[in-house]
Structure 1
Amino acid sequence: MVDRETARERVLEAAEELFYSRGIQAVGMAAVRNASGVSLKRLYQLFPSKEALVLEFLQQRDSRWQRALADYVDAQPTPDERIAAVFDWLYKWFSEPDYRGCAFINSFGELGAVSPEVAEQARHHKKAFHDHLAGLVTASGRPAELADRLALLAEGAITTAAIFGTPEPARQARDAARLLMHTP
């Protein structure tokens, strides 16, 4: 028998792959059971409801996403390069073969009207991203409102890349960000 933590990891890994690739509402707990190899009884011991599993999936994805972005951006030597690096990181993410857009936008679209907890997770993720951009803008010495504009560029690129299946919106958004950074 698999220990609790290993079973939990297997369930979350399977749920993430299934929820992200197919959508949350299209995936039942039986599909998560089959993909994870964890019995349905054990699955419900770990996650008493599908919503509990969805929320844990979103929390885990948020932590990993924010950390990966920060690691990439923080490796750049100057504030301006860090801002541009946000869009370069987005390009790398959009280039992944399984890219289906933002899991938080997707989950909000599916469940935001019926699950306040899912809606809150999506808001939390977007606020953390915006706060990261605001910190980068502050470090560059530019006006605070630039962060709002950069966030809109990034969010538009995230959605456009998913719809059209190309990473190019990240480059277009980076070019627009550079123009905004040099506009008085």
Structure 2
Amino acid sequence: MPRPRERILDTAMILFHQQGYNNTGINQIIEDAAVSKASFYQHFRSKDDLCIEFLDKRYAYWVSELQNFISDAETVEEKFLKSFDFLIHMNKKENFRGCSFLNILSEIPVEKTDLHHVIRQHKKTLRDAFNTDIKDDLISDHIYLLFESCILTSQLYRSNELIEKSKTIVKDILHDSLRKNE
């Protein structure tokens, strides 16, 4: 059986992702993880501290899954189109649950600056990764914004339709960009 800290974090990984931050209480985490309240507070000072670890672990998981999904792409265009296919894959796998970071962001008040900082940093890292592959900031940000909006709209409509349309837009943007650079 995993140690109490790992059980708490594993439980939070499921509950924060499925239920959100506000609908997940410390008592539920303690009960589902089969730990004592004292054990919880021995490992995490607060629900916010646990949420920060959740966000870090969720980001590492998500990026690893994305990297594995696009690893056989041979061109920048193929990499980005497969990235949008990854969103479709995750929607099927996670029943259109959307982005844990944006879901939590929508629940927390602005005063929770530590949580806001972590969410912003992870989103910035993703945005920077887009910029690494596409050297034009305007085009990179355009595709990044499409990517992020696809996560939101597919969750809202419980459909991959706009992801498919965005792939066509991305393909056109990248083709136009290559033609300009020739």
What TM-score do you get using the length of structure 2 for normalisation?
0.90
Taking the aligned partners of 1:112 and 1:171, their CA distance within structure 2 comes to 33
Whether the aligned pair in 2 keeps the contact of 1:91 and 1:170 (CA below 8 Å) is: yes
Q: Which residue of 1 aligns with 2:34?
A: 37
Q: Which residue of 2 aligns with 1:121?
A: 118
Taking the aligned partners of 2:50 and 2:86, their CA distance within structure 1 comes to 28
Q: Deviations over 1:104-162 (max 9, x none)?
A: 11111111512111111111111111111112223xxxx33211000110111000011
Q: 2:171 aligns with which of 168, 178, 184?
A: 178
Query: In structure 2, do the counterparts of structure 1 residues 170 and 26 end up closer, same or farther at CA, with 3 Å as the change threshold?
Result: same
Cα RMSD for the two superposed structures: 1.6
Taking the aligned partners of 2:10 and 2:64, their CA distance within structure 1 comes to 18
**Which secondary structure does the structure 2 equivalent of 1:113 belong to?**
coil
Structure 2 unmatched ranges of 5 or more:
none
Query: In structure 2, do the counterparts of structure 1 residues 17 and 98 end up closer, same or farther at CA, with 3 Å as the change threshold?
Result: farther
Q: 2:139 aligns with which of 143, 146, 151?
A: 146
Q: Which residue of 2 aligns with 1:71?
A: 68
1:155 aligns with 2:114: no
Q: Deviations over 1:43-93 (max 9, x none)?
A: 111111111101110111111112221232232112221121111111111
Whether the aligned pair in 2 keeps the contact of 1:95 and 1:167 (CA below 8 Å) is: no
**Which secondary structure does the structure 2 equivalent of 1:101 belong to?**
coil
Taking the aligned partners of 2:167 and 2:143, their CA distance within structure 1 comes to 9
Matches within 5 A, 1:101-120: 101-120=98-117
Query: In structure 2, do the counterparts of structure 1 residues 112 and 81 end up closer, same or farther at CA, with 3 Å as the change threshold?
Result: farther
Number of equivalences = 177
Taking the aligned partners of 1:63 and 1:144, their CA distance within structure 2 comes to 25
Q: Deviations over 1:23-43 (max 9, x none)?
A: 211211110011111222111
Structure 1 unmatched ranges of 5 or more:
none
What TM-score do you get using the length of structure 1 for normalisation?
0.89
Taking the aligned partners of 1:147 and 1:74, their CA distance within structure 2 comes to 20
Whether the aligned pair in 2 keeps the contact of 1:73 and 1:82 (CA below 8 Å) is: yes
Q: Which residue of 1 aligns with 2:9?
A: 12
